Amino acid sequence: MTSKKTSDWRPTESLFQEDPTADVVLRSRDGVDFRAHMHILSIASHLFRDMFSLGKASDPAPERKDVLSLEDRVVPMTEETAEVVEKLLQLCYPVDQPTWDNAGQIHPVLAAAKKYQMETIVRRLMKELMTPRFLEKESLRIFAIACHLKLNDSAQVAARHTLSHPIQMKHARKELQFISGLSVLGLFEFRQECSKAAATLATDPGCIDVVRGEGNWALFKCSDTTCHPVYRSQAYSRECPQWWYTYLSSAHAALTEKPSGTSAMTDETLKPALEEASRCNRCCSSAYLDLARFGRLLGVIVERTVEKITKTYDFCEA
């Protein structure tokens, strides 16, 4: 049976097209043949090792001149395109390695590596996928990829990274088609739970743990009339200036929208309170230090709270 090529793709690694020592041929779903070595594939893949040991691809590979009439030792890779097969082989061989511009390029290669039980390559690709350069910009896409491949630990990490920005479903449409609606619903429920818990920490009673044991806060010491009206804190039973409550209001709104620790100390969150504090001769020089310190402490507690919530979700159970 000869291959019927249906792809315009062109190979980038000549080894897999011309190597005369090859003893097996991998045929992509679009009809491109790749010459490979059973021994190398057996080392990389438990599935190939078992296949070859059973003699599923045991006849001699043809010479290059017979490449159009291959009938023996052909392994049909019915789901993988030529581009995916080549990248998978590059990861198995000591040749130039594939490069990735986005998480979507990794997905089909990772799926193939998992399918063919290439455990080392799966770990390598997951490590690449979970780097900050992809997670910070493509967290929803990575969440969908992890759910598709039933990798819940990675799905949890990606879900946490989605909290730093609004969900844009259109940016991961291709990957989302591979997962169930229950996984997507789980993500929205997770975001809602994190949002509520994080925002609660920015209320007056909610942030008691942030300042407990941290006694040197300028916000408790101001008696300047320009800071009036002054409110009595429910959490501390002490008077606090208006700018403090302005900050808590901004932090509450920010954490509701983006329940991530960094939301508590962005310039946008701090600015309204600092503008109010600047009108007080006593607070103008200390408010930023207080708010920056509090924002960092609040951010840590937000991240701890989100981490606890994250561990309760199995996004891949659907």
Q: How confident is the model over 55-90, as pLDDT tens digits?
A: 554 445 545 444 433 456 889 999 999 999 999 999
pLDDT in tens, 163-219: 998 888 888 899 999 999 999 999 999 999 999 999 998 886 666 666 665 567 776
Residue 305 has pLDDT above 90, yes or no: yes
Instruction: Select from 190, 288, 285, 205 the least CA-distant residue to 252.
Output: 205
Instruction: Select from 240, 244, 302 the least CA-distant residue to 272.
Output: 244
- β-strands 74-76, 24-27 pairing: parallel
What are phi and psi for residue 249, nearest 5 degrees? -65, -45
pTM above 0.85, yes or no: no
What CA–CA distance (Å, rounded) separates 246 from 258? 18
